[in-house]
Structure 1
């Protein structure tokens, strides 16, 4: 991927992730019961943990960069900054393993980039429950993804293979 596009997409993804995840200085249980802190950080977190804003911001920068690298490796074609940001935010939320096995990645790598953007609508469940926050997040990620393709976010003329 072009470095300039990747940098722009990564920066946009960091802003998106921070906005969607929110900043929490004390560990809490996420909707599926996973101890979480800062901007959705879960690795090694235990209930009772605390973190400063500075620590959380540093952790966010490191993690978004790691997820951006995973996205860069997963997708075979050059993505727009909008697609890259949307997919990095999505991967940050669902995890690399789930993203790698997804129809979304398969469609994008088969050349159906609009169909891949529309797959974001399917990722609105956590612990078997549909979550309003995920519906909002995916709608914004999808809009950004489609915008990166030069399509309106409500373009329903594109169909996916599922």
Structure 2
């Protein structure tokens, strides 16, 4: 599977702005934006670009609120990555910030992916991403595409 050209363009446009901007673009591409709260595939009330903390059905947000929430939460995910595996190249940092944003720091913290990172096997860690395509016990096509893109971005940062 290839990273969509429109996503490549979006990431390239934000590359000069740094890792956080690229990670926000990646998250936004795969999460999609909803200004009204909805129930995600596993039953969690969600709003904006996949934001779930304290969301209730009926909540509404502005695009500016969504921009701020997404940047804040992706920043937190990037900080988790940077604390857990300092010194990673930008590609893995972007991909893993998107991954942590999606699965949460707890799942990431107990993962084989993180064990491989800490052992210095960055490529092996990147190749763990496609295993994380299930939500609520179901394989989701959107997660398959997202993990493939994350893996490609992760590995591209190693070349």
Band of TM-score, shorter chain: 0.7 to 0.9
User: Using the alignment, how far apart are the partners of 1:118 and 1:66 within structure 2?
Assistant: 23
TM (norm. structure 2) is: 0.88
List runs of 5+ in structure 1 lacking aligned partners: 151-162
- How far apart in 2 are the matches of 1:11 and 1:124? 24
Match of 2:153?
144
Encode CA deviations 1:37-64: one digit per residue, 9 max, x unaligned.
Answer: 0000000000011011111111111111
Equivalenced residues, count: 144
Structure 1 length as normaliser, TM-score? 0.86
Moved over 6 A (4+): none
**Cα-Cα RMSD:** 1.2
CA distance in 1, matches of 2:142, 2:37: 19
- The alignment partner of 1:36 has SS state of strand
The residue that corresponds to 2:5 in the other structure is: none
* Aligned residue number for residue 97 of structure 1: 106
Q: Report what 2:49 is aligned to.
A: 39
Q: Distance in 2 between matches of 1:62 and 1:113?
A: 26
Match of 1:16 among 7, 12, 26: 26
Q: State the Cα deviation string for residues 96-137 of structure 1 (Å, max 9, x = none).
A: 000011000100110111110000010000000000000000
